[in-house]
Amino acid sequence: MNLDLKYYFTVFLRRSPYFILVTALFSSVGLSLALVLPSEYEARAVLLVEAEQIPDNLAASTVQVQAAEQLRIIEQRLLSRQVLLDISNALNLYPPDESGSRPSSSEIVEDMRSRTVFAFSQAGAARRGQPAATVLEIRYRGDSAPKTAETANEFVTRVLQQNVELRTEQAGDTLAFFTQEVDRLGSELDAASVELINFQNEVGIAVPSNMTFLRTRLDDLTNQRIEARQTLDALENQRERFVELFEVVGIDGEGGAAGSPLEQELMTQRAALSEALLIYSEQNPRVTLLRARVSQLEERLEQQRAAALNEDTEAEPEPEELAAPRTEQQIRFEAEIEDIDRRMETLRAEIERINTEIPEIEENLTEAAANGVTLNKLQRDYDNIQSQYNEAVARLSVAATGERIELLAKGQRISIIEQAIAPERPTKPNRPIIAAAGVGAGMFAGLALIVLLEFLNRSIRRPVELTSRLGITPFAVLPYIRTRREIAIRRTVIFGAVAGLVVLLPLGLFAVHTFVFPLDGLIERLFNKVGFSVIG
C-alpha cells in the first residue's frame, strides 16, 4: 500500500486549527508555568572525612565506624523531625503569610526533606590498602539566596557537632562499659578468692598436693611409734633389772657403797645390756652375748648369796640397822629409777600423740581426693575470672586511650572543604526549558489529536475510497468551496481562540497566582503526588 503524502498533508492543513489550538493550549500552560513558578536558589557545602591523626599501631581509637556508615547515621539524625523543626524555627524559614497562617509541622518537615540533599562520593583512588577519602556534599534549595546559604551552613555546623557527639559518645560508652566490666569482674574475683581461701582453710592439708607429705608423715609416725614402743620396752626391762640388781646389791648392807667385785661387774654388765637394748634389737648378737654374761654373773651371785645365808641364817638385823640412814647407793638408785620413769612417761605420751595423729592423717588422705575435685573447680573458676579480669583491664586501658583521642579530636574527623555561600543567580526552574517543553508537548498532542480524529472518521473522502468500497469509478470530484464570509468567520474563531489561549490564559493564571491563590505550591504538590517535581 502506497502512502499518499499529499493527501495526508492536505488533511493536516484541514485539521490545522485543532493542531494550533492544542499547541497553543499546551504552550500557554508551559509559558504560564515558566512565569508562575518562583525562582529557587541552591547553596552547596563540601565536607571531607579525614583519617586518624595518630597511627593505629601506636594508639587506636575505639570508634571503629566506617566513614560512609557514620555519614549515613548523621544524615538520618539531621533529617529527623525534631532537628528539621529546630532549624526551621532557628532560621525562621517559614514565616507567617499576610493572613498570619503558617504551614503545619508535617508540611515543614516534608518540604525541608525535599529541599535537602546529602550526596556522598569518593575523592581519589585508594592507595596502599587505604580507602579513598569520603566527601560529603550538602545542598539546600530555597527561594531566598541568603536563607539558602544560611540553612546549608547550619546543616554543616550540625554535621560537625553530630560527628563529635557521635564519636565521643561511642568512646565514652565503651569506656563506661569496660569500667563496669572491670568492677564486676573484680567483685567476682574477690568472691572467688574468698571462697577458695575459705575452702582451703576448711580442708586444711587434706588436698592432693599434700598427699606425698601426708604419706611421708604417716610412714615417719609409724616408724616413730615402733621405735618408741621398743624403747619403752627396753626401759621397762632396764628398770626391772635395775630393781633386781639393787635388791641383790642392797642385801649386803655393809659391803660398802661399791659392793663386791662380782656385784660391781654384774652392775656394769647390766648397764651395758641396758644401753645395748636402747640401740639394738633383742636378736642382736651383742645383746645376746651381754644377756648370757649377765645370766652367768647372776648365777654366781646367787650361789654366793646362798652360801652367805647358810652361814648366818639366825642373824637378825638390829633395830639401829633398820633405822640407818640412806646410803649413797640408795640415793643413786632412786635417781636412776626416777629418770627411767620420767623417760617412760615421755615415751608413753609420745606414743599416745602418735596414735592420735595417725588416724587424722589417714582421714586426710582419704578426703584429699574428694577435696581435690572441689579445689580444682574453685581454682579453675578463679583462674578463668582472673584471665577475664586481666583482659578487661587491658581493654579498659585501650578504651581510655581511645576516649582521650576522641576528646582531643585526633581520631577520624570531618573538616570543611567549601563553605556554603549565597548563590548569585537562581538555579531553578529552567524557564526556557519549561516553555519549550510546553510547546513540544502541545505539538505532539495536536498531532495525536489529528491522528485520532482521522482514525475515528470512517466516511468516504477520496475517489479511491469510492472505488475500493463501492466499486464506483467517479468522473470528477468537486471539493466543498467556502464563501469569503465563512472563511473570515473561521479564521476569526481560530485566531481568537489561539490569542485567548496564548495571551489571556497566561494572564489569567498569573492574576490568580498573584491575587487569589499561589499556584506554585499547588502545582508542585500535584506533581509530587505522582512522583515528579516541576521545581526540582
pLDDT tens per residue across span 93-152: 888 877 777 888 888 899 889 889 998 887 655 555 555 678 888 999 888 888 899 999
Backbone angles phi, psi at 155, to 5 degrees: -65, -40
Say if residue 426's pLDDT is above 50.
Answer: yes
Domain final position from 322, 341, 373: 322
Domain assignment present for 190: no
pTM of the model: 0.53
Cα angle: 176, vertex 177, 179; to 5 degrees? 65
Q: Which residue has the higher pLDDT, 320 or 52?
A: 52
C-beta separation of 501 from 29 below 8 A: no
Instruction: Indicate the pLDDT class of residue 153, thresholds 50, 70 and 90.
Output: very high
Domain assignment present for 211: no
Q: Which domain holds residue 23?
A: 5-37+468-529
Say if residue 318's pLDDT is above 80.
Answer: no
Domain assignment present for 448: no
Domain final position from 322, 356, 371: 322
What is the rounded average pLDDT for all residues in the chain? 76
**How far, in Å, CA of 471 to CA of 512, rounded?**
59
Say if residue 460's pLDDT is above 80.
Answer: no
Q: Angle, nearest 10°, between helix axes 16-36 and 5-14?
A: 60
**How far, in Å, CA of 533 to CA of 536, rounded?**
5
What is the CA 24 to chain-centroid distance, rounded? Answer: 69
Per DSSP, the three-state class of 412 is coil
Cα angle: 91, vertex 97, 99; to 5 degrees? 145
Say if residue 317's pLDDT is above 60.
Answer: no
Domain final position from 270, 297, 322: 322
Closest CA to 221 of 353, 343, 365: 353
Say if residue 522's pLDDT is above 80.
Answer: no
pLDDT at 384: 92
> Cell 568512646 sits at which residue?
171
Domain assignment present for 127: no
Instruction: Indicate the pLDDT class of residue 323, thresholds 50, 70 and 90.
Output: very low
Say if residue 58's pLDDT is above 70.
Answer: no
| CA Rg value for the chain | 63
* One-letter amino acid for residue 88 of the chain: S
pLDDT at 504: 66
Which range scores top for mean pLDDT: 32-36, 167-171, 225-229?
225-229
pLDDT at 527: 55
Instruction: Indicate the pLDDT class of residue 254, thresholds 50, 70 and 90.
Output: very low
Domain assignment present for 284: yes
User: Please, which residues bridge with residue 127 across strands?
Assistant: 130
Cα angle: 64, vertex 66, 68; to 5 degrees? 160
Element (H, E) at 141: strand 133-142
Say if residue 180's pLDDT is above 80.
Answer: yes
Strands (E), 190-294: none
**How far, in Å, CA of 434 to CA of 431, rounded?**
5
Backbone angles phi, psi at 120, to 5 degrees: -110, 145
Domain assignment present for 294: yes
Q: What is the DSSP letter of 380?
A: H
pLDDT at 29: 76
Q: What cell was used for 385?
A: 575470672
How many distinct structural domains can be found in the chain? 2
The Cβ of residue 77 has, within 10 Å, a number of other Cβ atoms equal to 15
**How far, in Å, CA of 259 to CA of 329, rounded?**
10
First to last CA, the chain: 48
Question: What's the rounded mean pLDDT across residues 30-42?
Answer: 76
**How far, in Å, CA of 310 to CA of 341, rounded?**
36
Domain assignment present for 518: yes
Domain assignment present for 285: yes
